[in-house]
Structure 1
Amino acid sequence: MADDNLPNRTFTHPDVFTRGIAEGWADPRPDPRDLTADEWTQRIDEAWIPFTLVDGRPVNPREQTNIRYGRNLLGHWAEQKCADALVAAHDEHGHRRIVMIDRRDRAGWALPGGYVDPGETALDAAVRELREEAGLVLPMATWRVSPPLYVRDPRASCESWMVTKVARTDLGTYTTLPTLTPSDDAAQAAWIPADSYLALVTHLRAVHGGELFPAHRELLAAALS
């Protein structure tokens, strides 16, 4: 049996082949070499962060994980485009809060977000996920969309990874913050104090007994600095 710490480890979680395929979030093809040359050409051309193929297998452009072959806990081959909504507001004392959801899969507290569907822009996807997961619709908001960001996601591998764009808006000062209604992938939705990254994670632990979603730690540390 191969040592799990070796960088040439092969692993795809069994859920990818069962639940993932049944629910539609996983590619049913068990090997990246099952994709056609035209499919790979399209994926490389459309990638937000350039990547290469070696012997028909994609290579993670940003990091070497401990899983060289396979998809770990992700369903796709190579880059998956995502979008996240970072919505801020301030109370009358100038303290910042941001919208966060407690993921239903118990992976932690995260920004509303998810996959960019075919034909969507990153902003379209972020606004949709904000509505679906937090019940928040902001027709008059002014958004800024970040450049592509590689996501350091513990579910990734050297052949399957996430790239996101963050859509940000600041709603200004509120005495009563807009109501949030969790649904879809969210068990809870809340306005979390976020004057700093430390304030955010401290509040999640002290008040909600929760942790920050690992894939959003680096992203939010940078965004809230």
Structure 2
Amino acid sequence: MTRTETIPTERRSWAVNWPEYTPTDITPPELRPSALAHHVPDWAEAAPTPTDVSDWPQRRGAALVPFELDARGWPLHPQGRTGRAGRNLGRWGENAAADPIVVAGTGRARRLLLITRDDIGVEAISGGMVDPGESALSALVRELREETSLDLADHRPVILGKGVVDDWRNTDNAWVASLSALYLLPAPVTAVAGDDAADVNWWPFGSLGELDAAITAAGRTLYAAHRPLLQRALDHLDQG
């Protein structure tokens, strides 16, 4: 679920009429129309508003999570009102991400590959945003290669699911959705940190509790937003 603490449950749905609804615009200065007219960040699209986006049919067709447009032609968060408006992400509407979960070994020897993010210093799944024109499946392989040096292009992952990510930048009009996939290896292999990773390691992965204990013992912290994805991977592994 996305963060909707400020919105009463009974009013989250777009189908519920709420004329007084006034979400807070969290668009940063560099993405406001006046700034975009002079400079467009390399990570963002140039459209100052969703009205300036011309390919909504294509975006909706390729979306990981289906979404609707309002009467103005603006995208609506699939899970309803968030209490925030505007854009604090690269694109209006869905911003697709790919989360490759790499697990090696079985039983007590089972290990999980995590990177240490160089921006916030926590242990996390190697992953990131899907590039324009790139498929989410291709992004899985690219992100792994860039951040861990592992090339798993010849491996077929198990698709664990698609869903909206609980991201602090999500708004009514722009949000993150992710494709999570599980890569299974017979044993841990050498990985080298690169791109957005400060470090990369294999961790015990018998359960989330075991993973937490190992990460805490090392003086580190597990990225909270990835816990549901990791539990989904464990559920799949335990079913097998």
Residue of 31, 50, 59 corresponding to 1:43? 59
**Does the 8 A contact of 2:141 with 2:153 survive in 1?**
no
Q: Give 1:55-94 correspondences, 5 Å limit.
A: 55-67=72-84, 69-71=85-87, 73-90=88-105, 94=108
Structure in which a larger fraction of residues adopt strand: 1
Unaligned runs of 5+ in 2: 8-21, 236-240
Residue of 198, 216, 234 corresponding to 1:224? 234
Tell me which residue corresponds to 1:52: 68
Tell me which residue corresponds to 1:115: 129
Tell me which residue corresponds to 2:47: 29
User: CA-to-partner distance for each residue in 1:85-143, whole Å, 9 max, x for gaps?
Assistant: 1110127x633211111112116322111222344332221111111101112355342
Tell me which residue corresponds to 1:131: 145
**Does the 8 A contact of 2:129 with 2:139 survive in 1?**
yes
**Would you say how many aligned residue pairs link Structure 1 and Structure 2?**
212
**Does the 8 A contact of 1:97 with 1:192 survive in 2?**
yes
AA aligned opposite 2:194 = S
Q: Indicate how the Cα distance of structure 1 residues 10 and 66 shifts in structure 2: closer, same or farther if over 3 A, else same.
A: same
Residues in 2 aligned to 1:16 and 1:104: alpha-carbon distance in whole angstroms: 24
Tell me which residue corresponds to 1:9: 24
Q: What's the Cα RMSD here?
A: 2.7
**Does the 8 A contact of 2:96 with 2:176 survive in 1?**
yes
TM-score normalized with structure 2 length: 0.77
TM-score normalized with structure 1 length: 0.81
Tell me which residue corresponds to 2:189: 178
Unaligned runs of 5+ in 1: none
**Does the 8 A contact of 1:148 with 1:164 survive in 2?**
yes
**Does the 8 A contact of 1:151 with 1:216 survive in 2?**
no
Residues in 2 aligned to 1:15 and 1:119: alpha-carbon distance in whole angstroms: 24
